[in-house]
């Protein structure tokens, strides 16, 4: 990857459990399907040669569990995940704020977050990509050229990857 080439992977958290009616939304864990889907998506990303320089995740329990399981599958140090509370149920502008704060030496980043914001942000990347709804544990990957992350909004992006657990390989 050249110095100016960057990649962004938006990952919606895996399927969460609704078993405990008294549990707050923030504290909901993954259900059994989510527990299996997250490492599977990590394995798919690894088989495609995708390895991030940085993984950023919402601090909600289901997002944290998803990020950790994907990282373990791709060989990324779980202790190096950056936890960002403002990614919990945020709008598209917050994703850009998080990207603007990145060190310009970072070429590839994963962001694990929630709907509807993550789908809205994925759809804003380019007019050549649209999805009604990113399924749980879906990954949207985009490539673009820029020297500074603060130029993200004006960079021409190309979505090159759209994977989710039920998509056939």
Of 8-12, 21-25, 31-35, 98-102, least confident by mean pLDDT is 21-25
Check residue 53 and give left, alpha or beta (phi > 0: left; psi -120 to 50: alpha).
Answer: alpha
Bridging pattern class, strands 82-83 and 139-145: unpaired
For 61, which DSSP code?
H
**Can you tell me the mean pLDDT for 98-118?**
97
Residue 4 confidence class, pLDDT cut points 50, 70, 90:
confident
pLDDT at 168: 65
Measured CA to CA, the distance from residue 158 to residue 63 in angstroms comes to 25
Given a contact cutoff of 8 angstroms between Cβ atoms, the answer to whether 114 and 100 are in contact is no
H-state helical runs in 48-102: 61-74, 92-100
Nearest to 135 by CA among 161, 121, 116: 116
Share of the chain above pLDDT 90, in %: 94
Write the pLDDT tens digit of every residue in 71-98: 999 999 999 999 999 999 999 999 999 9
**Can you tell me the mean pLDDT for 2-31?**
92
Domain architecture of the chain: domains with CATH? 5-163 (3.40.50.1240)
Given a contact cutoff of 8 angstroms between Cβ atoms, the answer to whether 66 and 137 are in contact is yes
- Sheet with 5-12, strands from edge to edge, namely 82-83, 54-57, 108-113, 5-12, 139-145, 158-163
């Amino acid at each position: 990857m050249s110095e100016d080439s960057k990649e962004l992977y938006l990952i919606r958290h895996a399927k969460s459990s609704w078993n405990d009616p008294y549990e707050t939304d923030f504290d909901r864990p993954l259900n059994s399907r989510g527990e299996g889907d997250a490492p599977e998506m990590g394995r798919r990303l690894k088989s495609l040669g995708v390895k991030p320089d940085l993984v950023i995740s919402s601090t909600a329990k289901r997002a944290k569990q998803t990020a950790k399981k994907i990282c373990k599958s791709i060989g990324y140090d779980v202790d190096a995940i950056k936890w960002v509370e403002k990614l919990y149920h945020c709008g598209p502008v917050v994703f850009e704020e998080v990207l603007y704060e990145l060190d310009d030496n970072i070429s590839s980043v994963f962001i694990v977050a929630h709907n509807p914001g993550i789908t809205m942000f994925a759809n804003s990347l380019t007019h050549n990509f649209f999805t009604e709804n990113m399924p749980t544990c879906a990954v949207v990957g985009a490539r673009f050229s820029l020297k500074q992350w603060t130029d993200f909004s004006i960079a021409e992006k190309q979505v090159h990857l759209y994977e989710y657990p039920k998509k056939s390989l």
